[in-house]
Chains A and B, each alone.
Chain A
Amino acid sequence: MTAIGFLSFIDHPPQGILGGFLIVSPLGRPLEFHCSAPIQPNRAQEILYGPTLRPYLLGDLVGRTLVEHTELPVEVILVDSQEALELRMSVDVPVAAVFSDPAAVFSDPATIDLRQTSETLHANPFKVPDRMPNQVKIGPFLLVMARGYLEDARLLRNTLVPIIRDVDLCEPFERIREALMEAQRMSA
C-alpha cells in the first residue's frame, strides 16, 4: 500500500521548534504519527550554522529523527516548508515541499534563489512549473524538490498522480499542527 509521509513544524517560543511526522494512506487515513519534543538551538549552533541553522534544525535534526523512528515505509515525504528539504540528504525517498498556491512559493523564506532568478516568473506564477527543473506540478499543487536528485520528479509523479484525487496534499499539515499544539498544551 502506498503510504505518504507528511512532515510539519511549529515554532513555539520560548520552548523552540516542534516537529510532527504523519503517515497517511492514499485515502488520507492516519497510519502512524510521531512528534518531537521542542528543541532550541544554543548560541554556539546559531553562530556556527548562521543562515543554514533553520534548514539544519528542520531537515537534519528534527526531521531525520522523526523519520528514522517510523515503522511504516513511505513512498515520498512531503513537507510544508522548503527549509526542511535538507531532509533529503538523510533519506532515500523523494522529499518535496508542497504549495497549494504557486504564488506562495515566493513568500516562502527559503525561495531566495527563485526570487533572484526570475522576475518574470514572479509575474506569472502559473508558468513556474514548466521552467524550474526542481519543481513539479501535480494536480493543483506545486511541489518543490531538493536540488540534485534528478529522479525525484519522476518518483513523485509515479506516487502522487494516481492518488491526487483522493488526498489533499496540504490538508494533513493542518492535522499535524493541531496535534503538535495539543501535545504542547497537554505538556504545559
Chain B
Amino acid sequence: MEMVATMERIHLASSDILEVSLLHEPPGVVSVPIQCVRPKVLGCLMPEGKMLLRSRTWDRAAPTDSGPSWVRRLGVRIDGLETGPSGCTALTGVTRPRSENDPVPCLGTDFQFPVGHGFRKTASHTRIRPPRDVVKLEDRLHYLLQPPIESLLAAGSLRFPYQPFPYQLEGVAFLFARKEAVLADEMGLGKTMQAITTIRLLVKMGQIRRALLVCPKPVVTTWYREFALWAPELPVTVVAGGQTSRIWHWRRSTTGVAIANYELIVRDQQLLAATREHFDLVVIDEAQRIKNRSSATNRAVCSIPRNRSWALTGTPIENSTDDLVGIFDFVSRQLIGPQMRPRTMARAVSDHILRRTKDDVLADLPPKLIRDAVIALSPEQNDAYQRAEKDGIVRLSAMGCELTIRHVFELILRLKQICNFDPATGASSKLEQLEDDLEDCAASGRKVIVFSQWVQTLDELQRRLARFGSISYHGRIPMRYREAIIEKFRQDPRCHVMLMSYGAGSVGLNLQFASYVFLFDRWWNPAVEDQAINRAHRIGSAGPVTITRFLSAGTIEERIEQILAQKRELFTTMFGDCWRGTKLGLSQREILGLLGLERPSDLRAA
C-alpha cells in the first residue's frame, strides 16, 4: 500500500514526529518499518499513529529530488501492517518536540514496547538463550521458557527515549542470561544502552539489587547521564569524595547502582574486598583498562566481591591475546590462559563474548568515509627531518650495547613531531592542508574534531586555528571544565573545531554531531584511532562522517602505516572482521627496522 504526503513542504529532522492517520486503527502501538523512496528505514510508527524518525540524514538529500516538493514524492510504504482495503490515509502533520536549532539528534518522544506483540507480521521476538555452560535440561528450559525480551520490557512498563535496535535487544538478551559476559561491540553501537537496559530489567525482575559500574574517570558523568536517560527510575550514585563518605557508601549502600572510576577502585581495594555483601553485578567499562594482568587496576577490579561480572569494551584485544586473558581474569578467571593458541582461546570464550560491528548490524548508519591524505613535507620540515633522522641514526648506531628501545622511541617521536611542525619556523604542510579543509567545513557549518597525540601540537593548532573557534580537550584540561567544553562545542555555532588528544578524547564521549574527523598525526595502535573516530561515527550521527588521516610522505609515518596495514590484513585473514583492530603493536625488531637499524644481540628493554 502507499501513503501519500499531503503537506506542501516540510523539512524533517530527527526530532520531528510525523503524525500519521491510519484508516485501520492500529491495535495499540504499532512497530513497523517505514520506508521512503530511498530504501532506508526512517523510523517507527508510534502510539497514536505518530512516526518517530531515526535519522535526520534523509532530509539533506531530499531537496535535490526533482518535482515541486520531495515530500510529495515521499511515497511512504508501510510493510507488514494489515489494513483494510483502503489502506492508510496520509501524513497529516509534523511536530517539533524540541528546538529546531538543537543540533543534538533528539529522538523526540518516549518509546514503550507494545504489550502483547499481538501485531502478527510486525511482531519480533528476541529470545533469551541459555549460555553454553548451563548443562542441566531443567536450567536450560528455564531460559528458553522466558518470554521474549520485548515482552519482559513491556511487562515492566519500561519506557525508552527511542526504540532500541533489534541487535541491541539481542545484546540485552545475551547479557540477561549470563553471569560472565563480555559485550565487545564495535564502538558506537550502544554498549552503554544495552548494559543499562539489562541492569534495569534485572532490577525490575528482582534478580539484582546492588550493582557497581567501573569506568574511566572522564566518562563517569557520561554514564550518570546515560542512566538518567535510559533508566530514570534506578537510584544511581557516583562514588566520590573523602574517605569517610566512600567508606559509608561501600559499607552501607545495599541497593541501586554505584558508579566509580578505576583509580578510585584501586584506592579503595581493601575497603571493597572487606564489604560483607557482594555486589549482585559489577560492570567494567572500557575493560581494556585491566588487560595488563600484573597491574594494580587488574588486581583491584578482580578482587571486588560479586556475583555477576560483565565487561564492556570495543577493543577486547589491543595488542595481543594476553589482553583478553587480562579481561577474563575479571569475567571468568582461569577460563583462558596466556599460553593458549588463539583459535583454542576463541573457542573457549565464544559463548561469553558478543561482538558485532557496524557493518553487521547498522545498515542505515551513515557511511564512514576514510581517506588517507599523504602530504609532502614543506621544505623547512624536510630539511629538519632529514637532518634529525641522519643525526639520530648515527647517534643510535654509535651507542652499541647502550642502545635501548627507549632511545629508538625518542627518535621516532622526534621525527613524528617534525612531520607535524618544523621546530624552527613552525612550518607545517599538514596544517596548511587542514586549514584549507576547515574553510570548507566551517563554511557549511560543520563540526570538526582534530586528533593529535601531543598536547604541544594541539596548543599550536589552537593558536593557529583560532578563527575557526577552535577549543581544546586533552589531559591537561581539569576534569571540571571538560563537560563545559563539550557543551560549547555542541551548542556554539561559531565553534567549529575541537582539538583532542587521543588519550582524553578517544573513550566514552558521544560527539555524533561532528561530521569530520582529522587525525593530524597517527597513533601507534589503530584500535585507539578507531575509538577516536567512533566518537563521531556512532548511533545518532547526523550524516556521513569523513575521516582524514594525515600521513607525511616518505617519512616514518608512512613506514609505520605500512607495517600496521600488513598486520591488519594478516589478522583479518585469521579471525575475520570481528577481530578488527587487534594485534597491532610493533615488535622491537619492527621498531628498529623503521630506522633501518639492526637489533643488537643484547638490546636492553629500556
Contact = CB atoms under 8 A, between A and B. Distances in A.
B141 A165 contact: no
Contacts of A171: 117, 123, 125, 147-148, 151
Interface in B113-168: 115-120, 123, 125, 127, 137, 140-142, 144-148, 151, 154-155
B137 A183 contact: yes
A140 B140 contact: no
B147 A165 contact: no
Contacts of B338: none
Contact of B140 (A100, A165, A176, A182): A182
B140 A139 contact: no
Interface in A131-151: 139-141
A53 to B, nearest CB: 29
A114 interface: no
A169 B118 contact: yes
Interface size class of A (residues with CB under 8 A): 20 to 34
Contacts of B154: 166
A178 B144 contact: yes
B115 A166 contact: yes
B28 interface: yes
A168 B144 contact: no
B27 interface: yes
Which of B117, B123, B144, B151 has its CB near the most chain A CB atoms (within 10 A)? B144
B118 A175 contact: no
Contact of B147 (A28, A33, A178, A182): A28
B118 A28 contact: no
A178 B137 contact: no
A165 B145 contact: no
Instruction: Give the one of B119, B145, B154 with max A CB within 10 A.
Output: B145
Nearest to A178: B144
Contacts of A167: 116
Contacts of A169: 118
A110 interface: no
Contact of B118 (A140, A174, A182): A140
Contacts of B125: 171, 174
A164 interface: yes
A175 B127 CA distance: 9
B123 A182 contact: no
B422 to A, nearest CB: 67
Contact of A165 (B28, B127, B142): B28
B127 A178 contact: yes
Given A30-B146, A100-B118, A141-B118, A168 B141 contact: no
B151 A140 contact: no
A44 interface: no
Interface of B: 27-28, 115-120, 123, 125, 127, 137, 140-142, 144-148, 151, 154-155
9 contacts: A24-B147, A33-B145, A101-B120, A141-B118, A166-B116, A168-B118, A171-B117, A179-B144, A182-B141
In order of increasing CB-CB distance, the 7 nearest A-B pairs are: A28-B147, A30-B145, A27-B155, A168-B117, A140-B118, A168-B116, A179-B144
Given A28-B155, A164-B118, A179-B145, 7 more contacts: A30-B146, A139-B118, A166-B116, A166-B155, A171-B148, A171-B151, A179-B144
